[in-house]
Structure 1
């Protein structure tokens, strides 16, 4: 038996499909960013999480996912020194760092530190293209 779906049915699910298809398309187009976001969320349950793809600031092909800045604000960083926070973030992203992520800038703060900072992060410096070494 063939089922005929009404126009009203498609009208009712249209917004749902559009939202979810866009999200799926974004994940397919940005697999490394999506993986970073997922792993940091799972590991740190952050109050604030920003994953910024800064690859466009470097000499890489358009659409690359090689240079990132992450901002992770989590209560899990309470009483943990900054260097250990960075190590924890690096450990959680080891797979990405071993398979194409060339640079990772980390801002790892407690909720109080985030509030005290005015909830602002500094701009990343321009790419030196290797000439500055």
Structure 2
């Protein structure tokens, strides 16, 4: 089973999901990478009243095992339904990897 499917199943089980996008961005990594770099866009009213760090902690807890391995990088964009509506469903594009200390 792909990592993206595992992530989706875990999130949908533990959080009330209005919108969920899991984008494999491994191809943007400067070195060899496969199924290890992801962008997560998650809209849930479970985030209401929570600061950004609390939202991230929720996701870290749910995906603790996957964040040990095989996920190397996870860009998280976490919104309530109201915040998502204000953004018109738009999320910034991820930058290409510069290779860590190579840049």
Q: What is the alpha-carbon distance in structure 2 between the residues aligned to residue 38 and residue 50 of structure 1?
A: 12
1:57 to 28, 46, 60: 28
SS of equivalent to 1:49:
strand
Aligned length: 101
Partner of 1:33: 4
- What stretches of structure 1 move > 4 A for 4+ residues in a row? none
How far the C-alpha of 1:65 sits from its partner, in A, is: 0.6
If each structure's helix is expressed as a fraction of its own residues, which one has the higher value?
A: 1
User: Structure 1, unaligned stretches of length 5 or more?
Assistant: 1-27
User: Structure 2, unaligned stretches of length 5 or more?
Assistant: none
Q: What is the alpha-carbon distance in structure 2 between the residues aligned to residue 47 and residue 70 of structure 1?
A: 13
Partner of 1:101: 71
Q: What is the alpha-carbon distance in structure 2 between the residues aligned to residue 60 and residue 49 of structure 1?
A: 27
Q: TM-score, normalised by structure 1?
A: 0.73
Root mean square deviation, CA, Å: 1.0
Higher relative contact order (CA 8 A, sep 6+): 2
Q: What is the alpha-carbon distance in structure 2 between the residues aligned to residue 36 and residue 119 of structure 1?
A: 21
If each structure's strand is expressed as a fraction of its own residues, which one has the higher value?
A: 2
SS of equivalent to 2:10:
helix
| Structure 1 residues 72-111: aligned runs within 5 Å | 72-111=42-81
2:13 to 42, 51, 61: 42
Q: TM-score, normalised by structure 2?
A: 0.93
How far the C-alpha of 1:129 sits from its partner, in A, is: 1.1
